[in-house]
Structure 1
């Protein structure tokens, strides 16, 4: 390019893709300065103005302010340092925007009230230390006592959320909902009762070590019958119920009688809590685990199958009593 070439504001605008108004604005601010004037007094710019305006446009699109851009263009500030500081500031803004997006999405999807929205927003804004305290308080409320035995450490770990340092919007949203659920006194109480029941069952069975998750065992025993469309009230379900009762008898260390089947029914109903199901789904999102399969269908089927047979047994006992 000819170093003696001078450009009008209009020519400079065409070469840089800026508007004439923008070029004039940057010129008035001293970011680009005229190399001379035309005979009629119009400003004329040298080739270096093209390069400066290209840099200005790039840095403006990246969000830098004019004062900083001016210093970078004049070599008063090193661009890498400016870029590093600006990138750090943008990272903070991105985290804030992700949080806002997560909360607003949750409000829309769950149709939250103003009070629920306020709570979710505050939970989403907790610091890392505050999150750790909340998780610890929740797990202590569930596991202190019977579940405090070291044998329950694995169960406790499997229920611990670990939000990453740079969570995705979905993880932030899941965390806020998880925290809301964890603060529910009723949910805490129900989970603690399940822990106590598990400890009591293991004690009756002669073991203090928690075995495989109860719902997972039920799923393995019941899933084939459910997939085959077996009616829980039909005689085809008898072997499945017998297998469920036998497993529960081994866990509890008692005979397969009416009392054990009543306890089995109560256990099935207590485990089949939609809040527990939701907890595990939120936990999977937060921790980046695969989405768990809902145990509700097999638990519903199992509870109904046991319930039907208990009613039949009660009816049979009633008829025998009347006969005597």
Structure 2
């Protein structure tokens, strides 16, 4: 150590247990300021440099990026030295950010692990198809394609409030630790949503859409009320039949079209729902149930219960 108490770059490197190249690297980045230069142009470091260098190495060992380390160090400048740095909000923010990133990385690894198991364990004749499916999905997966699918399928005049509520129910949240079956389910959902002409594409003829001739907000507000009632029926295992849920469902359709509820209207609605039934959409809801197992039924299961209840009601009236 020099008489002035300053350390040379070699002395600092030796005390910290690092190479001179490492000290120079952090100095050149501005993370480890020099106190001065010798008459020969050699770097000199003050007494706080050793603690600062050790802190830099500790932060880097936690995989904090160099720019983030710089922000932490800048946020802790002051007489408190290293202790002050460790007490700053900048450090907490950096650690929280890295934890979020790490969580995303872990989720991605779990999805890749489940995808590998899915392809490894399937019959050889199915591998090409499964590779195609999982290869089209990122890890962790994005739900953007599913959201676009439903935004396109919903009525253009639907309010943002109801559009958001429907998307919350229709776009499943991928699990953080999926099974191979859930990876496959999500990949198949993604394939449905990105098909060249999805079954629920708004370009389909208006006569095939149950919301083509109605006030959409009135319809969907009423449908949500009916769906809430049906969820209770499904949890108790009640078979589709007459009751408050069916009355609420039919009333929603009739009110939205400004038509009276009558046997003729129910027959017309039943015919419309039958024409609009789509196996691809049924498959979408089945896959959603696999992806997010829950005691709460999917919108698809609820809609099918109501459609079946209406069918039984119409058949009873006709008989």
What is the TM-score when the length of structure 2 is the normalising length?
0.47
